Structure 1
């Protein structure tokens, strides 16, 4: 669950036809505006078919894989905008956002935020239903879920990994870890209490999961949240 810096932040990324990017995690929240081509993104928020004029808002420490189409894709990466929640939407003038970005990336990000309209374009086959269930309930037992929808539990892990680039168990752990991170800035008890509250085996289990996702132990992130207005990405 390691993190990586976002390459080309506040710049245009060009991807070749049929290019594949395996599941990876960015250290910073950011906004991606699709200028041309298209791709499928499968990540923590679900799977999306992304086309020109669409915007994907990525939160802190989120992971995803990308499968680019026959035309490849041209994507404008912009800094995160406070208050713009992770998700997928559209804007009516992506080319104007690109022109703004050449002069002032943060102004371009604000332009996108002002014109952002939420769009529901998630896929809805069984891997996506399982991903949604795991996001909602990180304690979900995978075998009973598979049987409840008529699937062979032995095949679920392989099919989910093909769609999302990770196993259901890993996806579940990461969902639990993000939930713990969201609770961390306002938590007033001990980290051991937080670990128990969020379903970790113990404080050490929580610490390993958080460090794997963010590169920092929970105690360091908690100290940052005291100094700033909430937990920051890195």
Structure 2
């Protein structure tokens, strides 16, 4: 991924609504660039690195760089606007709800250079789905010290095969792949936005060593950790 300048990202915004057909599904997919999805009309379910959300009008879903998810569209179809974000805004903003999405998009259109600040001021927190076993497993995997899938399944009185099948149905990918993505993204975030050494980041994220982390980050982003640490230093200098 080429890291764009902040002004370049914000000058290329396209605020035209995107329409997704009724009763359709988007298989699991990933995006290199950060963006905020602002839902104007309709409902859909999104399952991704950050958990599962039932999106209704006014929902704002923040997608950091390299995020992945699957979508299931309700019978009425949806209309949404994808607002491109800088790397920094993609990492620091949180998903949530906004009272008047049309007004928010109008303000972003008038002041594109302040899109991140406008989103931060307008969006209030919203809960993700956490009632089903796949959601509980996804939450557990956010912890670098989470138990193995077999141990977790035993604690919840379900077989590893069963929870794997249900998780894949709910999230569009296997638990093992999801866990590696979550671990890799957590390490990448710390590299770009933190100050700890690469070795310390690898250990904190749950990797066996720095070499394993490096391979995972290169696979996910196309760049090694030290290149992303350089991006972090450049951002701090701006």
TM-score by length of 1: 0.83
Whether the aligned pair in 2 keeps the contact of 1:56 and 1:89 (CA below 8 Å) is yes
Question: For 2:77, what is the secondary structure of its paired residue?
Answer: strand
Residue aligning to 2:46: 41
More strand by share: 1
Q: Alignment partner for residue 180 of structure 1, among 187, 195, 199?
A: 187
State the distance in 2 between where 1:175 and 1:138 align.
13
Cα offsets for 1:95-139 (capped at 9, x unmatched): 223434555544565444322111214242000000000012354
State the distance in 1 between where 2:40 and 2:129 align.
20
CA drift at 1:187: 4.4
Unmatched tracts of structure 2, length 5 or more: 2-11
Residue aligning to 1:142: 149
Written as runs of structure 1 = structure 2, the 5 A alignment for 1:1-234 is 10-11=14-15, 12-80=17-85, 82=89, 85-107=92-114, 110-137=117-144, 139-185=146-192, 186-189=194-197, 191-192=198-199, 194-229=201-236
Whether the aligned pair in 2 keeps the contact of 1:80 and 1:109 (CA below 8 Å) is yes
TM-score by length of 2: 0.82
Whether the aligned pair in 1 keeps the contact of 2:42 and 2:57 (CA below 8 Å) is yes
CA drift at 1:166: 1.1
State the distance in 2 between where 1:10 and 1:72 align.
21
Alpha carbons of 1:96 and 1:84: their partners in 2 closer, same or farther (altered >3 Å)?
A: farther
Question: For 1:174, what is the secondary structure of its paired residue?
Answer: helix
Residue aligning to 2:9: none
Residue aligning to 1:5: none
State the distance in 1 between where 2:226 and 2:98 align.
39
Cα RMSD of the aligned pairs, angstroms, is 2.8
Question: For 1:135, what is the secondary structure of its paired residue?
Answer: coil
